[in-house]
Amino acid sequence: MRIPGPELEVGGRTLILGVLNVTPDSFSDGGVFLDTAAAVAQARRLVAEGADALDVGGESTRPGSDPVSEAEELRRVLPVVEALAAELRVPLSIDTTKAAVARAALRAGARIVNDVSALEADPEMGRVAADAGAAVILMHRRGPSRTMQDDPRYADVVAEVRDGLAAALQRAERAGVERARTLVDPGFGFGKTAAHNLSLLARLGELAALGRPIVAGLSRKATIGALTGVTAPGARLQGSVAAACIAALHGAALVRVHDVAPTREALAVVDAVRAARG
């Protein structure tokens, strides 16, 4: 799979999608990169450390978060996307559930739409992505961010996530998105308990049946804190790197992370092991 403008080859070594939150309230770095200049400086740092692509988000999707207006989200992300598209030679992803935000970001130079609602929140999103020829990351979640962690239950979390993503792929195709431009994300922490997340990680390879590249985002999440006892999200480095490596070993094509340099170093070992075993 190739993501255009500039191209990104998905399916060889494990790729890194660097997180760039342009928000005041994200769970691990809210407010740190809200200023455009600070966001651009962080983007340069992530790319220098080895990020293959950058994921720019202007609305927190942490559990319990409230949505922001379209105008506010555009105010946060558009100057950043414009600046990065003019300067950096890596693909840019726009992390949004709003079609208008995606449209503006794609016009400004983004090439990927990362929609945590898998095209359900805004009925126009699929068409916007299709018209732009963008790649689309379809993520599984249950309910909006504000309530998704209110007692989530599954009979078989892996099977239900797989089926939900299969439905999302069909939804994308109906909207005109080429299947070859889709990626799937099981949505660790989005309407799932720590036990659900661990089951998904252990059985991540079962999602290969969908036939699309898998994106895994566990960086700094609450499950990492629960397992390691590290309370502060920004201090969950070792657990986050371990989770990224396990995800890669179990089939993830991309890992979405905050800490690029240590993850890149660890993944060099993982990718060598994968290559050695054929």
**Catalytic residue chosen out of the listed positions 111, 192, 220, 256:** 256
List the beta strands (DSSP E) in the chain: 2-3, 8-9, 15-21, 53-57, 92-95, 112-115, 135-139, 182-185, 214-216, 252-257
Which neighbouring-strand residues pair with 93?
55, 112
How far is 9 from 135, CA to CA, in rounded Å?
A: 12
Catalytic option among 103, 111, 220, 221 = 221
Q: Based on the residue annotation, tell me whether 277 is a catalytic residue of this protein.
A: no
Q: Distance (Å, rounded) from C-alpha 210 to C-alpha 167? A: 10
Of the candidates 84, 91, 114, 90, which has an alpha carbon nearest to the alpha carbon of residue 102? Answer: 114
Determine whether 76 is an active site residue: no
Question: Which residues are CB-contacts of 167 (< 8 A; sequence separation ≥ 6)?
Answer: none
Alpha helices in 50-132 (DSSP H): 70-87, 99-108, 125-132
Q: List active site positions.
A: 221, 256
